[in-house]
Amino acid sequence: MEFTPVIGLEVHAQLKTRTKIFCSCSTAFGAPPNTHTCPVCLGMPGVLPVLNKKVVDYTIKMALATHCTVQPESRFARKNYFYPDLPKGYQISQYELPIATGGYLDIDVDGRSLRIGITRIHMEEDAGKLIHDPDRPISRVDLNRTGTPLMEIVSEPDIRSPEAAGEYLRRLRAILRYLDISDGNMEEGSFRCDANISIMPDGSTVFGTRAEVKNLNSFKHVEKALYYEIARQKEILLDGGQVVQETRLWQPDKGQTVSMRGKEDAHDYRYFPDPDLLPLVIDDGWVDRMRAQMPELPAQRQARYMADYGLSPADARVLTGSRELSDYFEACLAVFDQPKTVANWIMGDLLGLLNTRGVEIENTPVSPENLAGLLELLDADVISGKIAKTVFEAMAETGRPAKTIVEEKGLVQVSDTSAIDPIVDAVIAGSPDEVERYRGGQKKLMGFFVGQVMKQTRGKANPKVVNEILAKKLG
């Protein structure tokens, strides 16, 4: 029997504010332990949390970007549980009345467009950090992160494959970064994901019992963990067993999920409205102000690249996959306005280089100005296509402009017939057999002659001129 997976994702994105959600402490990462605290985030008695307006601004933007309805009135609630990283004994979150509900995100998987529903978006505070001592029976509590603003984005159980889950997350992250409201860095924990997954027999509409998988700290691990869970649940069902509803922890080193026993009874959170925080009322004017500040989003840029530049949907999607890559593309166009050529070089040579080196576009050794400069030289026939590849590699090594490299290495393309003529003559004189076969009808040998001339000129001869001279001389 074959099964269909049913996946819903909960994403926590850390918002890029300067200060915490309910107090004026810094959210900066990496400070010495407990130096970014105050009586509010330490949970001292008698203190009053006050909402950071920017957290609301950012969340409204995310709601608009994901087609959610911004609720005119929402409310904060206390989620009660005990853990040493939670000084108050409760987390301030939103429960019954979240700030935004009922949106969607369109993603592309294998050339098919899929619409993933978004159930809700809400605001909450982060907990502190625990560092477990390897030698002594203690854990150290650092409350710098306590109160850092988080936005939780909950999807509908609309996702049907690990690939679609990965694509949904990448798209969500891209939007956060286009909006400039979160770093979206999974490895550093500013973008975290929990997955709810069950399986049902193909054709069924009744969802199976789900497991919640935690500790998914990279896109790759999300997909791997979901594949593992699908296989695990399938085996249980085929053996006639039943999947247990539970929380499971992904162990990246072992490539498996394990049950987190003892957590089950912790789910009695006794949510209730936080009396310290007033109801949040958002009027249309506020939403309109945020809408007016919205930048172009990936889907809009993709459409523009297709309409204005004639790029294919696949190419437009790659180039808009991250704001940084898309900005790079546009910075190139500002200098060299041939979108298709620029797109091909970015997706081929540049992304190839970045992949090989394992660096992100933000740290590219070849600046957009330098790449555009190279393409200008190529377009003006100053260098040949072959030399352009050499210059690109040199730019990647040195970070210097194409023009400087071409001049220093004497790579300027030779188009002067008086310079190429003698070389062509020498090649013809040195290959009597090939000349005879060519004249006998083997026209394919033209490639051989061109190759020989290019070799003699170390790639500098203009291939078009070489072709013309050869055609004339070979008759």
Part of the chain binding other proteins (CB under 8 A), chosen from 195-203, 215-223, 272-280, 463-471: 272-280
251 binds other proteins (CB under 8 A): no
Part of the chain binding other proteins (CB under 8 A), chosen from 23-31, 401-409, 441-449, 458-466: 23-31
Part of the chain binding other proteins (CB under 8 A), chosen from 72-80, 101-109, 189-197, 445-453: 72-80
Part of the chain binding other proteins (CB under 8 A), chosen from 15-23, 118-126, 352-360, 413-421: 15-23
**Cα-only R_g, the chain:** 30
- Residue that has been written with the tokens 């009744």 in this structure: 206
Part of the chain binding other proteins (CB under 8 A), chosen from 44-52, 182-190, 218-226, 448-456: 44-52
Q: Is 305 left (phi over 0), alpha (psi -120 to 50) or beta?
A: alpha
Q: How far is CA 170 from the centre of its chain?
A: 5
Residues 200-219 interacting with other proteins (rule: CB under 8 A) = none
173 exposed, middle or buried (CB, 10 Å; 0-12, 13-18, 19+)?
Answer: buried
Nearer to other proteins, 83 or 352 (CB): 83
Number of Cβ within a 10 Å radius of residue 337: 11
- What are the φ and ψ backbone dihedral angles of 231, each rounded to 5 degrees? -65, -40
37 binds other proteins (CB under 8 A): yes
30 binds other proteins (CB under 8 A): no
Nearer to other proteins, 203 or 275 (CB): 275
357 binds other proteins (CB under 8 A): no
287 binds other proteins (CB under 8 A): no
25 binds other proteins (CB under 8 A): yes
Could you give the CA distance from residue 320 to residue 90 in angstroms, rounded to a whole number? 40
Which residue type does 246 have?
Answer: E
273 binds other proteins (CB under 8 A): yes
Antiparallel, parallel or unpaired: β 211-216 and 191-201 = antiparallel
Indicate the helix (H) or strand (E) that contains 73: strand 73-74
Please say whether the beta carbons of 25 and 147 come within 8 A: yes
Could you give the CA distance from residue 75 to residue 399 in angstroms, rounded to a whole number? 52
- What are the φ and ψ backbone dihedral angles of 174, each rounded to 5 degrees? -60, -45
Shortest distance, CB of residue 87 to other proteins, whole angstroms? 9
Could you give the CA distance from residue 354 to residue 306 in angstroms, rounded to a whole number? 25
80 binds other proteins (CB under 8 A): yes
Shortest distance, CB of residue 27 to other proteins, whole angstroms? 9
Could you give the CA distance from residue 317 to residue 337 in angstroms, rounded to a whole number? 19
Collapsed DSSP state (helix, strand, coil) of residue 9: strand
Residue 283 gets which letter from DSSP? Answer: -
72 binds other proteins (CB under 8 A): no
Q: Which tokens sit at 416? A: 């002067």
Q: Which tokens sit at 283? A: 């009027």
Q: Which residues pair with 93 in a beta bridge?
A: 77
261 binds other proteins (CB under 8 A): no
For residue 375, which of 325, 333, 430 has the smallest C-alpha distance?
333
Binding mask of the shown chain, residues 134 to 163, with x at each position contacting other proteins by CB under 8 A: --xxxxxxxx--------------------
Measured between its terminal Cα atoms, the distance across the chain in Å is 69
Binding mask of the shown chain, residues 109 to 138, with x at each position contacting other proteins by CB under 8 A: ---------------------xxxx--xxx
47 binds other proteins (CB under 8 A): no
Shortest distance, CB of residue 184 to other proteins, whole angstroms? 19
Shortest distance, CB of residue 163 to other proteins, whole angstroms? 33
43 binds other proteins (CB under 8 A): no
Nearer to other proteins, 118 or 141 (CB): 141
26 binds other proteins (CB under 8 A): yes
Shortest distance, CB of residue 106 to other proteins, whole angstroms? 31
- Interface residue with other proteins among 275, 358, 410, 441 (CB under 8 A) is 275
- Interface residue with other proteins among 2, 239, 253, 265 (CB under 8 A) is 265
Could you give the CA distance from residue 434 to residue 301 in angstroms, rounded to a whole number? 53
82 binds other proteins (CB under 8 A): yes
Could you give the CA distance from residue 84 to residue 141 in angstroms, rounded to a whole number? 7
443 binds other proteins (CB under 8 A): no
Please say whether the beta carbons of 273 and 284 come within 8 A: no
268 binds other proteins (CB under 8 A): yes
Residues in contact with other proteins by CB under 8 A are 17-19, 24-26, 32-39, 42, 50-54, 56, 73, 75, 80, 82-84, 130-133, 136-143, 265, 268, 270, 273, 275, 277-281
